[in-house]
């Protein structure tokens, strides 16, 4: 009969612990897939109501009178504004839908000629202006020349969709799981898409512009002289409404 000393038993326990640690390490190295988090639904409103960058038309209308051809001063300002916007954001030609009507046709043709000259003066090349005859559709109202062009724009929605009830019921599983309702965040996304000036800003940052060299040189000169580089505003104290706390 073999007897074991306390030293032998301690050695065996250390050996068992080492084997257990090695097996845990090997099990951890055997993970080949991604971490599984279960069937947790996404509650991010930006995924339910994403902002898409697409092409859409921008248009204005110019009213045409039967006895006057050409444009009024406000109409010329509108057309010039359209030309400047096209230079900045247009992705296609400007299409002018000119009504072909026996009563207003001559005045519409005269207005279109002036529209074309104003557009060209605003930087739109002649090849980017297209005339398209349109059937006048009006009943007692003045016909219009419609000017439109495609541009890059951001859109989101549609909003106001309620596929599930807000309150508790047998079919509304989201209520029991405390998830936000489907329409939540849609108006915010739609407003952001409408307000953004350049839709490309939603995808990537703009390049950094050059530094303002005159102000930088003044700050460096003060720094070399050991003078404070902060700007003083003598009129700042005069704009305060109250002297409470002085």
- How does pLDDT run across 179-227, given as a tens digit for each residue? 788 899 999 999 999 999 899 899 898 888 888 888 889 889 989 999 8
Structural domain contains residue 101:
yes
Phi-psi region at 4: left, alpha or beta (left = phi > 0; alpha = psi -120 to 50)? beta
**Domain residue limits at 112:** 57-151
- 181 with 166: CB under 8 angstroms? yes
pLDDT higher at 53 or 3: 53
Whole-number Å distance between alpha carbons of 13 and 8: 9
In a domain, 126, yes or no: yes
CATH assignment at residue 110: 3.30.1330.60
Find which of 12-16, 102-106, 124-128, 232-236 is predicted with most confidence, using mean pLDDT: 124-128
Residue 237 banded pLDDT, cuts 50, 70, 90: low
172 within domain boundaries:
no
- Which of the four pLDDT bands, split at 50, 70 and 90, describes residue 234? confident
* pLDDT for the residue 165: 74
Number of neighbouring beta carbons within 10 Å of residue 84: 13
Average pLDDT for the chain: 81
Q: Categorise residue 213: left if φ over 0, alpha if ψ from -120 to 50, beta otherwise.
A: alpha
Asked if residue 225 belongs to a domain, the reply is no
**pLDDT category of residue 120 using cuts at 50, 70 and 90:** very high
How far is residue 111 from each of residues 51, 59, 86, 205, 225, measured CA to CA in Å?
Answer: 39, 17, 20, 42, 65
The whole-number pLDDT of residue 24 equals: 57
What is the per-residue pLDDT across 21-62, written as a single tens digit (0 to 9) for each?
Answer: 666 555 555 455 544 444 445 578 888 899 999 999 999 999
Q: Cα–Cα distances in Å, from 147 out to 61, 85, 173, 224, 236?
A: 6, 12, 50, 58, 48
> How many CB atoms are located within 10 Å of the residue 152 CB?
14
Q: Would you call 233 exposed, middle or buried from its count of C-beta atoms within 10 A (0-12, 13-18, 19+)?
A: exposed
Which pLDDT value is given to residue 105?
85
The stretch 135-163 carries a mean pLDDT of: 85
Give the total residue count for the chain. 246
Would you say 145 and 82 are in contact if contact means Cβ atoms under 8 Å apart?
no
| pLDDT score, position 40 | 45
Ranges 4-13, 108-117, 224-233: which has the least confidence: 4-13
Beta strand 94-99 pairing with 129-134: parallel
Is the pLDDT reported for residue 104 higher than 80?
Answer: yes
More confident residue, 65 or 52: 52
In a domain, 140, yes or no: yes
Tell me, what DSSP letter sits at residue 52?
E
Question: Domain total for the chain?
Answer: 1
pTM for the complete prediction? 0.62
What pLDDT band is residue 18 in, cutting at 50, 70 and 90?
Answer: low
Residue 162 lies in a domain: no
Classify residue 64: in a domain, yes or no. Answer: yes
pLDDT score, position 4 = 52
pLDDT in the model for residue 10: 66
Taking the CA atoms of 165, 169, 173 and 176 in sequence, report the sign of the dihedral they define. positive
Residue 62 lies in a domain: yes
Asked if 87 contacts 122 with a C-beta cutoff of 8 angstroms, the reply is: yes
Residue 187 backbone phi and psi in degrees, to 5: -65, -40
Q: Which residues contact 221 (CB under 8 A, 6 or more apart)?
A: none
Residue 75 has pLDDT above 90, yes or no: yes
């Amino acid at each position: 009969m073999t007897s074991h000393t306390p030293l032998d038993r301690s050695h065996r326990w250390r050996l068992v612990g080492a084997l257990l640690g090695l097996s845990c390490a090997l099990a951890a190295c055997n993970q080949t897939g991604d971490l599984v988090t279960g069937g947790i639904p996404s509650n991010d409103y930006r995924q339910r109501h994403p902002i898409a960058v697409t092409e859409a038309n921008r248009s204005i209308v110019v009213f045409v009178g039967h006895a006057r051809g050409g444009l009024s001063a406000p109409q010329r300002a509108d057309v010039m504004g359209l030309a400047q916007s096209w230079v900045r954001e247009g992705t296609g030609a400007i299409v002018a839908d000119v009504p072909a009507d026996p009563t207003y046709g001559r005045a519409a043709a005269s207005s279109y000629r002036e529209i074309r000259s104003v557009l060209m003066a605003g930087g739109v090349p002649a090849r980017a202006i297209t005339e398209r005859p349109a059937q006048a559709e009006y009943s007692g109202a003045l016909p219009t020349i419609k000017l439109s062009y495609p541009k890059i724009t951001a859109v989101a929605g549609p909003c106001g969709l309620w596929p599930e009830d807000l309150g508790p019921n047998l079919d509304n599983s989201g209520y029991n799981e405390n998830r936000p309702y489907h329409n939540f965040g849609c108006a915010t996304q739609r407003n952001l898409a409408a307000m953004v000036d350049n839709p490309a800003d939603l995808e990537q940052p703009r390049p950094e512009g050059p530094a303002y060299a005159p102000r930088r040189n003044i700050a460096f000169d003060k720094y070399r002289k050991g003078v404070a580089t902060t700007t003083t505003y003598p009129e700042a104290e005069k704009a305060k409404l109250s002297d409470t706390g002085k």
